[in-house]
Chains A and B, each alone.
Chain A
Amino acid sequence: MSTVYIDVYRSTHWELVQPTRASVDASSLDAINMAVLKGFEEVQDEGEPDLIVELIDLYLEDEPRKLASMLEAVAEADEMSLMRAAHSLKGSSASLGAFGVAALCEELEHVSKADSFRSAVALLNRLESESARVRRAFAAERRRRL
């Protein structure tokens, strides 16, 4: 009978682990927490496509759509659509260790009409910038794994 280590942890997967590859430019070094991605290696099946590459591909395909939805929602002052898109991107970003993007999405999720979306535009600018760093970091990790 095998036993399993239950991860009774002290938030270890939030610790910042710096990627070491020189090909990752300095500005995207801390955009993603590599320890989170590495944690998924334990469910990787031998001989199967790289799960982490699959997850990165799904993220890179989906994230621009969600960003576009948020831009559109702000332009149309559509609070509900903004909340949904921000919530969705928050979940996928946090799942893959992109905590900076997740934190900005959390803020966007709670932008209300009462603010007339004043803060949303500034937040979206920051989100676009942070998302670009995340995409660079994921792209570098993807290249490394293939």
Chain B
Amino acid sequence: MSDELRAQERVPVSLEVVCESASGKRDARMSDINTSGCYIDSIAQVAIGEMVTFKARLPTGHWVQLRGEVVDSEWHTGFDLRFTDLTQEEEALLAELIRAEQGAPTNCSVKRPDKEDESPKRGRDLGRVLVAEDDPVGMRLVTAIIEKEGYAVVPARDGREAYRLLQRDSDFAAAIFDMMMPHLRGLDLIRHMRTEKRLMRIPVGIITAEQDPKLWDDSIAAGAGIFLPKPFSPNQLQFMLRVLISKRV
């Protein structure tokens, strides 16, 4: 990250967050941010130096999980976090968020293929993405968006079909699962993938029309890298894919 970005003053935001610290899990609100850290309004008791993991709901509708170290804490008011272990994609995401909150144009610095490479060739060689979605409309939509990004989609009509595919194939750049599917839910698939070494490296994103925050918590806890509620725009899903690809081990 550049010194210029690190030196940025905090910009005010109001983002819903769910924090997990030694004292437990709590809903809270992020009230300001720069690319180095943020302030979280919370009654949680946290100690300076403590590591906090939190999920934040971005204005784009995505939920992302970030980490930080507490550098200052005010009793029953909130605490100051310094971000730790940010990936390049997460840094780009934060920079973009800050620009948007400052009212600046939202050009994203995330690299895309050059224009001449954006010809409509379906399923180019960037890799394969496993998509499990039982709804035919959702599957067609997700497929069109992912293929536009240059990836080939390997479709699974439900959780069980995805499970069977994963038994014999692990060559996926990423996987995107619907949460609620017949036979096996997206959450169950993630839990299975985290138990097999050959599948652990595949980053997984969850899409869902489910409104229950507990399922969101569970899927992030199980290892989902990013969470996107339905309905979503092509930009939102494309962004989700890029975040996932950046997390690939």
Contacts and interface: CB of A to CB of B under 8 A. Distances in A.
Given A40-B234, A54-B140, A94-B231, A88 B135 contact: yes
B148 A87 contact: no
For chain B, the bracket of interface size reads: 35 or more
B234 A6 contact: no
Given A2-B114, A9-B60, A62-B136, A87 B180 contact: yes
Interface of A: 1-10, 13, 36, 39-40, 42-43, 45-48, 51, 54-55, 58-59, 61-62, 84, 87-88, 90-92, 94-97, 102, 106
Contacts of B134: 88
Nearest to A88: B135
B115 interface: yes
Contact of B106 (A5, A40, A42): A5
Contacts, number: 115
Contact of A55 (B107, B118, B140): B140
Interface in B165-189: 178, 180, 182
B28 to A, nearest CB: 22
15 contacts: A1-B111, A3-B107, A6-B60, A7-B60, A7-B106, A13-B233, A39-B234, A43-B148, A45-B122, A62-B135, A87-B180, A88-B180, A94-B230, A95-B232, A102-B209
